[in-house]
A = this chain, B = another copy of it.
Amino acid sequence: MIARLAIDTDGQGLHVITDQLTRLIRSEFSGDGLCTLFIRHTSASLLVQESYDESARRDLEVWLNRLVPEDDLLYTHTLEGRDDMPAHIKTMLTAVSISIPIVDSVLALGAWQGVYLWEHRHGRQQREIVVHLSA
């Protein structure tokens, strides 16, 4: 089964999608299986990470911004803006697809795990994640 999640973003950062995904599975799937997420973009990515403490997520963002700064003289691909090439690199270092088992109709996330879309561009974006559910 294929579904789509549409997510509007307004600036860089981690957008939680755990609840949206949980509702989708509750309404569309039962039993054991596998949920695979695929993001259809090259400047936003997927992450499963700490959902409890906001400071951990903020440190992830700040750390990655320091590793991949804007205005690096290395970049030749600059036509689409200062944040574009860093966005491609950050996407490369994180995930374009993630698979999470479903056990007894529920995503088998650990106690502290949440699912995130990581927006790497500054401006407003409409993002799409394709979700594949199977037994």
A109 at the B interface (CB under 8 A): yes
Q: How many copies does the complex hold?
A: 3
Say yes or no for A1: interface residue by CB 8 A criterion.
yes
The prevalent SS among residues of A at the interface is mixed
B40 and A113 contacting across the interface, CB-CB below 8 Å = yes
A36 and B96: CB pair below 8 A? Answer: no
The residue on B at minimum CB distance from A118 is B92
Of the candidate stretches A5-13, A18-26, A51-59, the one touching chain B is: A51-59
Query: Across the interface, do A93 and B93 meet the contact criterion of CB distance under 8 Å?
Result: yes
Using known A-B contacts A92-B47, A92-B94, determine if residue A59 contacts B32 with beta carbons closer than 8 Å.
Answer: no
Known: A88-B56, A88-B60. A134 touches B95 (CB 8 A): no
